């Protein structure tokens, strides 16, 4: 029989699935608007900048996870001091790292084939990636899931508005880039002063665990490799076709991982191994269900989806979409489990991720002559990663069941 806490958690998962799907759709609309209503040169530069922005957002994911975890672990204490200290520390850290990033804009521009002119705006986005996730981390730490969903929805609407304004201004690249950072900053500045984290006084000072922050960042960076390295390594003669398959496949992935933040927040507030396992299994069931449902939809309506999104010139990729969707479902499971490992400070999983990056590079170096070869590469990568992750999960469950923890949680 499910407890009220379980039912509340399932309710939050369902809400986040619906809201996450809507938010994902609106973000997809943002990219389509840019593609259809700007010149090809503007869209090309924006797409290249977005690839960099995605990498720049990894610190934001790590910081949000660390803040969520710290608040969840110490929820009974007064965390208002920790809130303001985190804002100051990450603001300073953001200034230092974004300044270094801007200083090396020449070298980075050469590697990325992006104009140096846009690096000042990319540096701003990088700075915001250190500040903007704090508010959501605080809210997730106390499991205010509805508030977080509303904030994300508001940010997406504001992003769309800024995108439309940028297009009206002739395809303003600076505004298109900043649209990915300004909305989150505004909600952060609004939420942080209003979030009260009152409780009893802690006997010792509660601070950010920087070792865990670094390890979390490395984990998310390596975790992003399977679906970013392929677009860099794929043979340029059929890159557009593979990119089209990848783009539609990622619809499955992003739909299936919408509930990851909710799961992480719940795990950060739990101490019982059995309760953690139940939370994880409920989340995985939701992830697999969403992944298979979206994949089935893509399979049934593949021609319609292709025509309405990337265009009829890519109808030749239709036979590959469902297969890639299943790969993305497996990858979504991996992402959820990686969040679980991070929540319990189990960072030996990084070695599996390093091995997978090496395997992916090897496969693309040796098999990269036709589209089916590349798809086979990715099937091998995602299948192997999923199996190894499940094995690591089994070993982790066994160890925690015996009362052992890889690393004790540190305040």
Domain boundary among 208, 238, 260: 208
- Per the CB < 8 A criterion, the answer to whether 346 and 407 are in contact is yes
Indicate if 49 and 197 belong to the same structural domain. Answer: yes
Extract the tokens encoding 147.
Answer: 């508030």
Nearest to 47 by CA among 170, 164, 156, 176: 176
pLDDT per residue as tens digits for the range 267-308: 777 767 788 888 888 888 888 998 999 999 989 998 888 888
CA distance 67 to 62: 9
Whether residue 188 sits in one domain with residue 249: no
CA atoms in the 13 A half-sphere facing the CB of 273: 10
In a domain, 410, yes or no: no
Report yes or no on 314 lying in a domain: yes
Domain assignment present for 36: yes
Q: Residue 406 burial (CB < 10 Å; 0-12/13-18/19+)?
A: middle
The reported pLDDT for the residue numbered 410 is 42
3-state secondary structure of 77: strand
Contacts of 407 (CB under 8 A, 6+ apart): 345, 346, 347
| Token code pair at residue 13 | 């998962």
Distance CA 117, CA 107 (A): 13
Quick one: tokens of 407? 């690393």
Do 31 and 128 have their domain in common?
yes
What pLDDT is attached to residue 2?
56
> Contact at 8 Å (CB) between 321 and 249?
yes
List Cα–Cα distances, 243 to 101, 212, 220, in angstroms. Answer: 28, 34, 22
Q: Which of 385, 378, 329 is nearest to 352 (CA)?
A: 385
Residues 137 and 45 in one domain: yes
CB proximity list for 223: less than 8 A, separation 6 or greater: 334, 335, 338, 353
Q: Do residues 45 and 194 both lie within one domain?
A: yes
- Across 170-252, the runs of DSSP E, i.e. the strands, are none
Are both 250 and 298 inside the same structural domain?
yes
Local mean pLDDT, 10-residue blocks, the chain (411 residues): 64 76 75 69 67 78 86 82 88 92 86 78 90 89 85 90 84 84 88 83 77 88 84 78 81 82 76 80 88 91 83 83 91 91 89 95 92 92 95 89 52 44
One domain, residues 260 and 182? no
Q: Report yes or no on 130 lying in a domain.
A: yes
**pLDDT at position 357, please?**
93
Of 158, 192, 208, the domain-final residue: 208
Q: Is residue 44 part of a domain?
A: yes
Q: Are 143 and 266 in contact (CB under 8 A)?
A: yes
Domain that holds residue 293: 211-403
Same domain for 264 and 286: yes
d(C-alpha 225, C-alpha 223), whole Å: 6
Q: DSSP letter at 345?
A: T
DSSP 249-278: HHHHHHHHTTTHHHHHHHHHT---HHHHHH
Q: Are 152 and 215 part of one and the same domain?
A: no
| Residue 409 within any structural domain of the chain | no
For residue 200, report the phi and psi dihedrals to the nearest 5 degrees: -75, 160
Same domain, 231 and 197: no
Confidence at residue 91, expressed as pLDDT on a 0 to 100 scale: 92
Look-up of token digits 């960042």: 217
Give the model's pLDDT for residue 35.
Answer: 63
Alpha-carbon distance 37 to 166, whole Å?
Answer: 11
CA distance 157 to 236: 35
Q: What is the pLDDT of residues 138-182, one digit of tens each?
A: 888 888 888 888 888 999 899 889 888 888 887 788 888 888 888
Angle, helices 273-300/4-37, rounded to nearest 10 degrees? 40
Given this model, what pLDDT does residue 70 score?
86
How many domains are there within the chain?
2
Determine the pLDDT at residue 397: 86
Alpha helices in 257-370 (DSSP H): 260-268, 273-300, 302-308, 318-343, 350-366
Q: Is residue 218 a part of any domain in this protein?
A: yes
**Is 123 in the same domain as 247?**
no
Long-range pairs of 122-125 with CB within 8 A, sequence gap ≥ 24: 122/49, 122/52, 122/53, 122/56, 122/177, 123/98, 123/99, 124/98, 124/178, 124/181, 125/53, 125/56, 125/177, 125/178, 125/180, 125/181
For 285-368, where are the E strands, in sequence order?
A: none
Contact criterion met (CB below 8 Å) for 7 and 140: no
Boundary (domain end) residue, out of 181, 208, 235: 208
Q: Quick one: pLDDT at residue 19?
A: 79
In a domain, 411, yes or no: no
For residues 125 and 238, state if they share a domain: no
């Amino acid at each position: 029989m499910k407890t009220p806490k379980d039912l509340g958690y399932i309710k939050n998962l369902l809400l986040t699935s619906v809201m996450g799907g809507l938010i994902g759709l609106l973000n997809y609309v943002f990219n389509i608007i840019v593609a259809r209503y700007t010149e090809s040169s503007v869209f090309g530069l924006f797409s290249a900048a977005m690839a960099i922005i995605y990498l720049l957002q990894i610190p934001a994911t790590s910081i949000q996870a660390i803040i969520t975890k710290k608040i969840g672990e110490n929820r009974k204490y007064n965390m208002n001091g920790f809130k303001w200290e985190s804002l100051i520390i990450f603001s300073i850290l953001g200034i230092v790292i974004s300044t270094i990033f801007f200083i090396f804009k020449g070298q980075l521009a050469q590697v990325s084939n992006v104009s140096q002119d846009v690096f000042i705006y990319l540096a701003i986005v990088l700075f915001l990636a250190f500040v903007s996730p704090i508010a959501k981390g605080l809210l997730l730490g106390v499991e205010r899931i509805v508030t977080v969903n509303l904030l994300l929805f508001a940010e997406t609407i504001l992003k769309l508005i800024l995108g439309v304004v940028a297009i009206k201004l002739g395809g303003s690249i600076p505004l298109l880039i900043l649209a990915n950072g300004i909305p989150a900053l505004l909600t952060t500045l609004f939420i942080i002063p209003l979030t009260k984290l009152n409780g009893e006084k802690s006997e010792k000072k509660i601070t950010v665990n920087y070792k865990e922050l670094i390890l979390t960042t490395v984990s998310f960076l390596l975790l992003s490799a399977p679906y970013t390295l392929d677009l860099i390594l794929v043979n340029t003669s059929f890159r557009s076709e593979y990119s089209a398959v990848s783009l539609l496949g990622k619809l499955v992935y992003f739909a299936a991982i919408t509930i990851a933040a909710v799961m992480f927040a719940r795990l950060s507030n739990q101490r019982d191994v059995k309760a953690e396992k139940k939370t994880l299994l409920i989340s995985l069931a939701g992830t697999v269900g969403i992944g298979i449902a979206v994949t089935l939809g893509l399979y049934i309506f593949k021609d319609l989806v292709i025509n309405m999104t990337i265009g009829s010139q890519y109808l030749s990729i239709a036979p590959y979409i469902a297969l890639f969707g299943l790969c993305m479902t497996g990858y979504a499971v991996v992402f959820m489990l990686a969040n679980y490992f991070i929540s319990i400070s189990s960072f030996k999983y990084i070695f599996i991720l390093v091995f997978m990056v090496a395997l992916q590079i090897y496969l693309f170096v040796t098999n990269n002559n036709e589209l089916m070869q590349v798809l086979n590469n990715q099937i091998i990568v995602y299948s192997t990663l999923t199996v190894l992750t499940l094995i690591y999960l089994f070993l982790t469950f066994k160890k925690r069941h015996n009362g052992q923890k890889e690393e004790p949680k540190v305040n």
